[in-house]
Amino acid sequence: MEETTLVKKHYSFEEYWQMELQSEQRHEFIDGQIIAMPGVTQNHNAVSLNLAVAFVALLNEAEFKIFMEGVRLQIESKKDYTYPDFCIAQKEGNTGSDLIIKNPMLVVEILSPATKLYDQVDKFLRYKKLPSLQYYLLIDPDRVFVNLYQKQPDGQQWSSELFTLLTETIDLPLLQVSLSLQKIYRGLF
């Protein structure tokens, strides 16, 4: 019996970029691999919208910009590019014509069955490489469950805190914001 080997194509950044500029579907680029982004559920969409509404009301617009789904985040030049579900970055260095987010302080991934493990492990390991990142928030859109990872003052370690009650509030002091789970899950539970 003849043995076959499956070979994955390793794409260059230039190949990825050309494909992405012409594609109607979004793709992440991770170390030479192109990964199609799945569609989103109604709950996923509602959580994303709730985050945008809450942060627009809470954030200092002079200092920060809010990004949702369609803008790419560069982790390592020409190596890793993702589409966070939601992101807050320093206004400085991010102009309206940019295709890539710079200086993110908060990255949010809204979990789905297809991406849950990827978001919790692989993406987080990559996101940790971003010097500006202070908070990584994982939100389950189908139940009240939020996991906040926060960079510690030493800049190396991360702490984790779970939130499972609608009455709880997530404090993000470097953004000067406190976000209630009621606002995240408004209209869902």
Mean pLDDT of 5-16: 73
**So what's the pLDDT on residue 22?**
83
Question: What are the extents of the domains in the chain?
Answer: 40-184
Q: What is the pLDDT of residues 30-63, one digit of tens each?
A: 888 888 777 789 999 999 999 999 999 999 888 9
The region of weakest confidence among 18-27, 99-108, 146-155, 167-176 is 18-27
Q: How far apart are CA 180 and CA 184, in angstroms?
A: 7
* Contact by Cβ (8 Å): 172, 181: no
Fold category of 40-184 in CATH:
tt1808, chain A (3.90.1570)
**So what's the pLDDT on residue 2?**
46
**So what's the pLDDT on residue 171?**
97
Q: What is the pLDDT of residues 127-148, one digit of tens each?
A: 999 999 999 999 999 999 999 9
**So what's the pLDDT on residue 26?**
77
Instruction: Return the HEC string of 50-115.
Output: HHHHHHHHHCCCCCEEEEECCCEEEEECCCEEECCCEEEEECCCCCCCCCEECCEEEEEEECCCCC
pLDDT at 1 over 50: no
**So what's the pLDDT on residue 8?**
60
User: How many residues are there in the chain?
Assistant: 189
Give the global pTM. Answer: 0.85
**So what's the pLDDT on residue 4?**
44
How does 32-66 read in b/e, with b if 16+ C-beta sit within 10 Å? bebeeeeebeebbebbbebbeebbeeebeeeebbe
Q: What is the pLDDT of residues 94-127, one digit of tens each?
A: 877 777 898 999 999 999 888 888 899 989 999 9
Q: Which two tokens stand for residue 16?
A: 């990825």
